[in-house]
Structure 1
Amino acid sequence: MLSTPALLAHAAKLDLVIRHVLAGLGHGIHAGRERGAGVEFSEYRAYAPGDEWRRVDWKLLARADRYYVREAERDSHVAAWLWLDASASMAEPSYAIQGLDKLWYARTALACVAAIAQRQGDAFGLVVCGDGRAEVTPASRGPRQLQRVLAALARTSASGSLPAEEGMRTALRIAAAPAVVFAASDCLDWPSPLSEALQRLRHLRHDVRLLALRTQAEVDGSFPSGVAYREREALAATALHRLLPTDREAYRERVFQHFDGVAAHCRQHDIVLAQARIEEPLEAVLRGWLRPPAGRGARR
């Protein structure tokens, strides 16, 4: 498994990073199969009114004196929508790894998901939320679509705030058919137009999975003593802060309460939440984020 510093050494091209990460990732976004009348036999089940008679196994009827239907599996394609928070706070850097920030980690994770979707033959699209607007790359399939998405991610910078409700509403029109939605954000602005959009997508029966990213310093308040840090989306006059040693415990408590609220909101609306520090190896984080939710499976 490559560490984050090793990945940064290849950060000039997203597709090169993807090849390194996916080399050790053995599964995809969904099972890739659905039950029905297909070619490959899966299992038997009891006959139910409405089943086609041609699917009844007559030889088994002769032996068991009961009607059983042959279930089969066929390939299933699920659209994947990638949502990226590109607001100013995503430019927050790691104090432990030079050259690493939350936006780099988020867009690299989403690039890997796009590559997996392309490998599975699924359609995938991208929504970038930043600078007060939502930019949409419509969903499509194939290698050219992957290059379009990678290019859009590569040119994204963290700036401004999340789009207002109207901007998000425009982006919501893209996902008419059931899809898997992968959203990457630092969740500092929560509740927000992004949280409301994800909630709406879940209520529309999409499988929504949120990756909440923080730096190690944001998790435990390990900012260098006496060093001023900037609240990137606040007004300039109030954006500069200095965290003293005596402030760290109160800071950690506020952070814990905020993300506890984020987790509670996600549970309430059946949004799968994965939390990670950007200093963690990306492959391990992806494994947890891509794993089908327990009890729900791949939603179609």
Structure 2
Amino acid sequence: MSPALIPPDVYARLAGLRLGARLATGQGIGAHNSRARGAGLEFAQYRGYEPGDEPRRVDWKLYARSDRFFVREAERDSPLTAWIIVDASASMAQIDVHAPERSRITAARSIAACIAELALRQNDRFGLVVGSGGGLSVIDAAYGRRQRDRIDFELRRIQPQGGFPTAAALRPVWEKIAPSSVVLMLSDGFEEGAIQLAEKLSAAQREVGFVRVLTADERDFRFEGSPRFRDPESPADQRRVDATAARDGFLQRFGAARSELRRRLASAGVRVEEHVADEAADGLLRRLLRESP
């Protein structure tokens, strides 16, 4: 357990949660007791090779006859491979004015640690991708407590900076995250690159859940007087506003933007949930995994 990342009360409530294999459709499977196509013993079908498939699953005899790569799929009770992708661009450092100990990245760390803990308890493979202006950090998917501890350490090291990595820099993601993996992306939803990555992963047969992490200030706009706002990724872009006059307009426009992002990702088959930094991580996971409160 990571006390700083998973509060004790949240850790205790994780006992009732299970990672499922179908996040994008909203049909949580729980303990993976349904049949799925994978690397089992009973042959089911062939499909074309995709980046990330294990070479041992390629049917080399069929390749010799057809000069094309095919992968054998089989029916099995499927363990998960869960990937956590954390957007660590500069805007993820945003704090709540009335509770500066809370920030988007603090909330994202806690959610990511909970996901790793759930995967550990289920004996599933899990990995981590962190993307920022400083580049891409990848921890390959693996099992066990040491893997959980590696991810814990990497989450603590995150320092949001710059923008989200470019498409070219994200190429290792495609090499690591195999088809049928479950992917949970933690982002504030302001980086077009992160949104496009979620869409492309879903289109490439990955089950994708997109968790939009917001601050309580964005939800409630609790500012007073004439605060100055600046873009953390473009510090020169600053604006001072009359908080009272701006509140209703901001909440209306931001609400519309939130709805539009939800529609966009849902149309791409991506499961979308919002999490506000003053909420407990297990509440978000309960919604995402379709568990009962």
Q: TM-score range by the shorter chain?
A: 0.7 to 0.9
Cα 1:113–1:204 change in 2 (3 A) is same
CA shift digits 1:124-163 (9 cap, x unpaired): 0001011252211111111110101110001101111111
8 Å CA contact 1:132, 1:164 repeated in 2: no
Matched, 1:162 2:164: yes
Q: Equivalences for 1:92-103 in 2 at 5 Å? A: 92-103=94-105
Aligned to 1:3: none
Q: Aligned partners of 2:84, 2:225: CA distance in 1, in Å?
A: 37
Q: Would you tell me which structure has more strand in proportion to its own residues?
A: 2
SS of 1:247's equivalent in the other structure is: helix
Q: Equivalences for 1:1-300 in 2 at 5 Å? A: 13-14=4-5, 17=6, 20-25=9-14, 26-30=16-20, 31=30, 32-35=32-35, 75-189=77-191, 192-234=192-234, 236-291=235-290
**Counterpart amino acid of 1:154?**
R
Q: Aligned partners of 2:2, 2:277: CA distance in 1, in Å?
A: 15
Q: Aligned partners of 1:218, 1:141: CA distance in 2, in Å?
A: 37
Question: What runs of 5+ residues in structure 1 fail to find an aligned partner?
Answer: 1-9, 37-49, 51-72, 293-300
**Structure whose alpha-carbon radius of gyration is higher:** 1
TM-score (normalizing by structure 1): 0.75
8 Å CA contact 1:80, 1:117 repeated in 2: yes
Q: Aligned partners of 2:268, 2:84: CA distance in 1, in Å?
A: 19
CA shift digits 1:242-292 (9 cap, x unpaired): 343212222222212221211111121010000121112222122112338
Cα 1:88–1:140 change in 2 (3 A) is same
CA shift digits 1:61-106 (9 cap, x unpaired): xxxxxxxxxxxx9753110000001111111111333411110001
TM-score (normalizing by structure 2): 0.76
Q: Aligned partners of 2:273, 2:101: CA distance in 1, in Å?
A: 24
8 Å CA contact 1:18, 1:115 repeated in 2: no
Q: Aligned partners of 1:22, 1:291: CA distance in 2, in Å?
A: 18
Q: Aligned partners of 2:8, 2:207: CA distance in 1, in Å?
A: 26
- Tell me the C-alpha RMSD between the 2 structures: 2.3
Q: CA deviation at 1:232?
A: 0.5
Question: What runs of 5+ residues in structure 2 fail to find an aligned partner?
Answer: 21-29, 37-44, 46-74
Q: Aligned partners of 2:287, 2:186: CA distance in 1, in Å?
A: 14
Q: Aligned partners of 2:223, 2:103: CA distance in 1, in Å?
A: 15
Aligned to 1:6: none
8 Å CA contact 1:183, 1:209 repeated in 2: yes
8 Å CA contact 1:180, 1:208 repeated in 2: yes
Cα 1:12–1:159 change in 2 (3 A) is farther
